[in-house]
Amino acid sequence: MSQPAGVAALRRIRWHVLIAAIGGLLIAGIGSTILVAERQYRELPVVLAAKQLAIATLLGHEIEQAVAVGIPLDKLRGLDDLYKEARRDNPEIGYIAFTDAAGRVVATQGRSIPPTVELLALERTPPGSAPRLGDAGGFSTVAVPVAAASGGAAIGDIFVGIDPDHIRRLIKDRLFDVVTVLVVTAICAVELVLLLLDYGITGPLRSLESWGAEVLAGELRPPRRAFGFRELHDLLRATARAAAPPGSGDGAKSRVPGGGVVPWQLMVRFIRVGLFLFVLGDTMSSSFLPIFARDLATPFWGLTRDFLLSLPVVVYWLISAIAQLFGPPLMERYSHRALFVAGVGFSAAGMAGAALAGDFPTLLAARGLAGLGLGLAFMTCQAAILTHVPKELRTLGIATFTGTFFLATFCGTALGGIAAQQLGFRGALVLSAAVVLICGAFVIGTLGGSRERPMQKVAAAAAGAPAGNSYLRLARNGSFASLLLFCAVPNRMFNVAFLLYLAPLYLFSLGDTKAEIGRVVSLYGIAMAILAPALAAQVDRRKLQRASVVVGSLICALGALAVLLDREHGILIAVATMGIGQAMSVPSQMSLIPALSGRQIANMGLPRVMSVFRVGERLPAFLGPMVAASLAGAFGFERAIAAFGAWVAASAVILALVLRASRAKQESPAE
Amino acid sequence: MTPFSRRDFHRIAAGGAAGLALAAAAGRTGAARPPFRVFMIQWRGDTDADRGMMDYLRRAGVEVEFTARDAAQDKAKLAAIVAEAKQARPDLIYAYATEAVLGVVGPVGGDAGRFVTDIPVVFAAVGDPVASNIVPSLDHGGRNLTGVIHLPPIPVQFEALNSFFAPKRLGLLYNSAESYGVGAVRQFQDIAGKADIEIAVETCVDAKGEPQEELIPPALERIAARRPDALYLPSTSFFLPLARPITAKALDLGMPVFSPNEQMMRQGSALAGLVASLNAVGEFAGYKIEQILVRGVAAKDIPIEYLSRFSLLVNMRVARRVQVYPPVTMLRYAELVDAS
């Protein structure tokens, strides 16, 4: 379909502005990253050397004090514990050693201790001097002499070496954080620039363009007063009034079917930004919530600790699914704005409640509120996008929704990990509540022009209420039920169990920092955000939905088995393959529904069939963390993840057989 | 009707205020009561705990008339003192040490006619009121008493001892005639057993169940024959006057001593111990007395508590002699006796 010249020009303008803005931002960002990296490499060793010297001096003082109260050097006890404590508090220290005046090693503690000859050859740092570093066994080491009393005879030397691996990891972590912030900033900037462009330029110009088209079609009436370019609007209104036949006035307004002040493209932009902000705030706690819950969990009702830890995720998902059960009646009664704002309110209250929670039941209640908020906001956004996007562009609408959801999930998870590292868990939760509230303010300000109500009434009148046994007939549809039971449910349960429970706790048990956990878990979101729209387009074009759901599930399942082979990288592979696999299978599930349940759609309407599928998929998801907790408690994290993978794989094989049989049935001439 | 002017209002308000002030002053004068009467039952004469308690009440401005009686570790004498206290009907009875407290309030379920039940009792320096059967549990079980436990809990003492000596075998001498000792030893044996530490236990009581000083050296020799790494002396009033000879004998036999009684390190030759300041114990008991007398809180509603802080005392003179020194990490918080 060829586009009007105006639309093409607008698109060009948008691209130019976007490229200029993002290009500038990225250049500045990359420049700052390089500066930060350079500074890290330059300054970190200096800071660490000063710290090394301080630790060595303090440890030396402990020995001096012991000797001063009459403890002979050869009778000193507890040096091992002292050094162990110092290393625990300062993980960058690779080893600590103490040698006596004769050069004999008295006590050591560390990963690997350099040979004594290398230690003794090091230059000593005199008291009050800058640290003099030397290399011993690959460790950057400071050597400090210990004297009997101030100015007394030398007792020996303390050696403190910095672990080079730890330093590399520290710098890598910081760089990752900077890059993550850079990427998230770029994504947020794109959203903001597009919003401003659509609000300030594209939207008003589209209004004028459609007015121009009406004028060309012979309908000479003043353009609707909108926003932006007010002077131009006023001028055109005045011109139109002057040129219009007497008595025509502004009455032409009512002749525009479904005419609204805000063009649908801009309305979709508003919904997209609202959804982005909401999901950003909501997912900020994803990476650390199980760890936060662990701090608060105290046994009650005889429940096991593993089971307790799964409850915050369980409650959140269960309530978000239940909230969606009430979607259709709520949608008929309340506006999108009202429902979205209600979702924001519940979500913000949930985040703030979790931040203030002093005990586990309060945390559970707070997560329940957040789940209710997510359920309301999720279904409202989906419905709002489908309402505003023209029918022929609904695939684009679903892609917009999915893309935005996962883009925001990536940003939220990554930022949440960094926020938890910097502000603590409670601080990060307060921040997420603030982001959700900003979303609420945005939604109140922008969704007022939504035109969903008249459209819904038209749709409701056309569809009519479904017959009582329609749901039963849908449940008896073997292909629909198989898609739900052997693809949607296992994938969703595994997704919730893995990303919100197993992966964070497993990575934490391996010693990963909160930011590292956030980064790994956020890989899923970025894979979904990038791949889902691209793969969906290919799948639609080649009509490969059936193959896509099966192959996607299998990729997801095989990745999960990687944790059995490699502890370090297995989890990374599992998260990435889940992102790739579900980017293939999730959008295809939605596309398959009309093909698999044509009769029921004719009877009940597509929205209700979709709603049954969505709720049927999400409702059992709450069991995911509970099953995960039980499996992890009994068999360990790796086997629990692999067990989920095996289940998803087996389900995919069954689904493949069912879909093959259903296609054969469809193609059979007897049918 | 004459309108009510602002001046009238001021006059009435001023008069009212003055009246109230006078009434309050009269009330204070009228409320001036004779000093509270506290009956002090001591077990081994004046102690730092008694002085701490009295100092606290004086600082708090509580006027108290004390009647002090010393049982001098004699249970027969104690019975007469308790009878006197019952007759004197004081506002409160203060009792020092486990045996004195048991003599006053009797064991749980004891004969109510023989013991004091209708006068609140505050105790100081009881090692384990539950094991001593003074209360069924630390939430009192409804008895008309409260007080301060002066010893660190046995698990805490064991932890300190274990950190200091890292022993494989321990000796333990106690007074089985004192109720605290029996409970403490049982608890200590349990914990040591779990830590795979062997214990050689001896007591110094005769066939009649009375502790005898002359039975201490042979008991120590029997313990020493098992070659323990250290000797633990649980708290008992019987050992305190004997701090010097007991610890000296133990040292002669090559056994460094660990004890929860300060005198053992300061006056005797014990090597180390986790101890409470008796003065602080007395002050805490004084606070509880103030709660009962001045604020009218029932004794049974005031918790029986441990002190929140203890000190690790290390006698460096002894450490140098036996060549057993505290670990370097302990030096950060230990109080060293004879450090130079």
Q: Which domain holds residue B218?
A: 154-275+310-337
A671 has a pLDDT exceeding 50? no
Q: Which residues of B touch A76 (CB under 8 A)?
A: 325, 328
How far apart, in whole angstroms, are the C-alpha atoms of residue A224 and residue B235? 95
Count how many domains chain B has: 2
CB distance A70–B339 less than 8 Å? yes
Q: Which of B329, B331, B332 sits opposite A69 (nearest CB)?
A: B331
Q: What is the pLDDT of residue A407?
A: 84
Q: What is the pLDDT of residue B285?
A: 95
Model confidence at B9, pLDDT cuts 50, 70, 90, reads very low
Do residue B332 and residue B251 come from a single domain? yes
A101 has a pLDDT exceeding 50? yes
Q: What is the pLDDT of residue B30?
A: 44
Do residue B271 and residue B164 come from a single domain? yes
Residue in B238, B309, B315, B236 with CA at minimum distance from that of residue B277: B309
CB distance A70–B319 less than 8 Å? yes
Do residue B270 and residue B123 come from a single domain? no
Q: What H or E segment, with its residue span, contains residue B336?
A: strand B335-337
How many other C-beta atoms are found inside a 10 Å radius of the C-beta of residue A501?
28
Residue pair A525/A415 in contact (Cβ under 8 Å)? The answer is no
C-alpha dist (Å) from residue B104 to A644, B66, B116, B121, B288: 68, 17, 6, 8, 18
Amino acid at A164: P
Do residue B105 and residue B143 come from a single domain? yes
B22 has a pLDDT exceeding 60? no
How far apart, in whole angstroms, are the C-alpha atoms of residue A301 and residue A470? 41
Instruction: Give the residue-averaged pLDDT of A173-189.
Output: 79
Q: Which residues of A touch B340 (CB under 8 A)?
A: 70
B101 Cβ contact list (under 8 Å, min separation 6): B95, B121, B123, B126, B129, B132, B134, B145, B147
Do residue B87 and residue B57 come from a single domain? yes
Is B271 an interface residue toward A (CB < 8 Å)? no
B105 Cβ contact list (under 8 Å, min separation 6): B115, B116, B117, B121, B134, B143, B144, B145
Residue B24 maps to a domain: no
The boundaries of every CATH 3.30.450.20 domain in chain A are 36-169
| CB-defined contacts A:B, below 8 A | 39
How far apart, in whole angstroms, are the C-alpha atoms of residue A24 and residue A295? 43
Residue B15 maps to a domain: no
Q: What is the pLDDT of residue B11?
A: 47
B28 Cβ contact list (under 8 Å, min separation 6): none
Do residue B124 and residue B195 come from a single domain? no
Residue with tokens 């948008």: A14
b/e per residue B195-229 (b: at least 16 CB within 10 A): eebebbbbbbbeeeeebeeebbbebbeebbeeebb
Q: What is the pLDDT of residue A395?
A: 60
Is B321 an interface residue toward A (CB < 8 Å)? no
Residue in A64, A86, A85, A84 with CA at minimum distance from that of residue A76: A64
Is B316 an interface residue toward A (CB < 8 Å)? yes
How far apart, in whole angstroms, are the C-alpha atoms of residue B112 and residue B106? 8
Q: What is the pLDDT of residue A663?
A: 74
How far apart, in whole angstroms, are the C-alpha atoms of residue B272 and residue A68? 19
CB distance A78–B336 less than 8 Å? no
Architecture of the domain whose range is A474-671: Up-down Bundle (1.20)
The pLDDT tens digits for B263-305 are 899 999 999 999 988 899 999 999 999 999 999 999 988 999 9
How far apart, in whole angstroms, are the C-alpha atoms of residue A390 and residue A267? 12
Instruction: Give the residue-averaged pLDDT of B140-149.
Output: 85
Residue B99 maps to a domain: yes
Residue B283 maps to a domain: yes
Residue B13 maps to a domain: no
- Please provide the average confidence, as pLDDT, over all residues in chain A: 80
Q: What is the pLDDT of residue A257?
A: 33
The nearest CA of chain B is from the CA of A183 a distance in Å of: 47
Q: What is the pLDDT of residue A602?
A: 74
Residue B188 maps to a domain: yes
Q: Which of B325, B332, B340 sits opposite A71 (nearest CB)?
A: B325
Do residue B104 and residue B171 come from a single domain? no
Residue with tokens 């197993």: A502
Is B320 an interface residue toward A (CB < 8 Å)? yes
b/e per residue A436-463 (b: at least 16 CB within 10 A): bbbbbebbeebbeebbbeeebeeeeeee
B289: tokens are 């007395």
Higher pLDDT, A424 or A244: A424
CATH fold label, A258-464: Growth Hormone; Chain: A; (1.20.1250)
Parallel, antiparallel or unpaired: strands B272-275 and B311-315: antiparallel
Do residue B97 and residue B237 come from a single domain? no
Do residue B124 and residue B179 come from a single domain? no
Q: Which of B316, B327, B332 sits opposite A70 (nearest CB)?
A: B316
Q: What is the pLDDT of residue B141?
A: 65
Q: What is the pLDDT of residue A255?
A: 33
Of chain A, the end-to-end C-alpha distance in Å amounts to 37
HEC string of A260-301 equals: CCCCHHHHHHHHHHHHHHHHHHHHCCCCCHHHHHHHHCCCCC
Residue with tokens 């999960």: A560
The nearest CA of chain A is from the CA of B251 a distance in Å of: 19
Is B167 an interface residue toward A (CB < 8 Å)? no
Do residue B317 and residue B172 come from a single domain? yes
CB distance A62–B327 less than 8 Å? no
Name the percent of chain A lying above pLDDT 70: 84
Residues in a beta bridge with B163: none
Residue pair B252/B269 in contact (Cβ under 8 Å)? The answer is no
CB distance A70–B320 less than 8 Å? yes
B14 has a pLDDT exceeding 70? no
Residues in a beta bridge with A135: A140
Amino acid at B296: G
Of chain B, the end-to-end C-alpha distance in Å amounts to 92
Q: Which CATH superfamily is domain A36-169 in?
A: PAS domain (3.30.450.20)
Is B319 an interface residue toward A (CB < 8 Å)? yes
Do residue B201 and residue B140 come from a single domain? no
Amino acid at B224: A
How far apart, in whole angstroms, are the C-alpha atoms of residue B90 and residue B84? 10
Name the percent of chain B lying above pLDDT 70: 90
How far apart, in whole angstroms, are the C-alpha atoms of residue A353 and residue A364? 9
Query: What is the C-alpha radius of gyration for chain A, rounded to an integer number of angstroms?
Result: 31
Q: What H or E segment, with its residue span, contains residue A440?
A: helix A394-446
Do residue B115 and residue B229 come from a single domain? no
The nearest alpha carbon in chain B to A77 belongs to B327
HEC string of A16-58 equals: HHHHHHHHHHHHHHHHHHHHHHHHHHHHHHHHHHHHHHHHHHH
Residues in a beta bridge with B272: B258, B314
Phi, psi angle pair for B212, to nearest 5°: -130, 130
Strand, helix or coil for residue B67: strand
The boundaries of every CATH 1.20.1250.20 domain in chain A are 258-464, 474-671
Tell me B340's DSSP state. Answer: -
Higher pLDDT, A590 or B60: B60
Q: Which residues of B touch A77 (CB under 8 A)?
A: 325-328
Residue B5 maps to a domain: no
How far apart, in whole angstroms, are the C-alpha atoms of residue B122 and residue B124? 7
Model confidence at A177, pLDDT cuts 50, 70, 90, reads confident
| Angle between helix A305-325 and A360-388 (nearest 10) | 30
A476 has a pLDDT exceeding 80? yes
User: Best residue in A75, A77, A89 to probe B by mutation, most B CBs within 10 Å?
Assistant: A77
B190 Cβ contact list (under 8 Å, min separation 6): none
A251 has a pLDDT exceeding 70? no
Residue with tokens 């006796």: B337
A592 has a pLDDT exceeding 60? yes
How far apart, in whole angstroms, are the C-alpha atoms of residue B43 and residue B164? 32
Instruction: Give the residue-averaged pLDDT of A634-652.
Output: 91
How far apart, in whole angstroms, are the C-alpha atoms of residue B240 and residue B254? 21
Residue pair A374/A283 in contact (Cβ under 8 Å)? The answer is no
The nearest CA of chain A is from the CA of B31 a distance in Å of: 46
Residues in a beta bridge with B199: B170
CB distance A78–B327 less than 8 Å? yes
CA angle A95/A98/A103 to nearest 5° reads 125
Helices (H), chain B: 6-31, 48-59, 75-88, 98-105, 154-165, 179-194, 216-224, 243-252, 262-266, 278-293, 316-322
A5: tokens are 């010249």
Residue pair A200/A14 in contact (Cβ under 8 Å)? The answer is no
How far apart, in whole angstroms, are the C-alpha atoms of residue A596 and residue A479? 6
C-alpha dist (Å) from residue B188 to A433, B125, B172: 52, 19, 9
Please report the DSSP string for B315-333 in residue order: EHHHHHHHT----GGGGGT
B8 has a pLDDT exceeding 60? no
Instruction: Write A327-331 long-range contacts (CB < 8 A, 24+).
Output: A327/A379, A327/A383, A327/A611, A327/A615, A328/A607, A328/A608, A328/A611, A330/A376, A331/A379, A331/A380, A331/A383, A331/A456
Distance of CA A480 to the CA centre of its chain: 30
CB distance B316–A78 less than 8 Å? no
B87: tokens are 């007759």
Amino acid at A284: M
Residue B1 maps to a domain: no
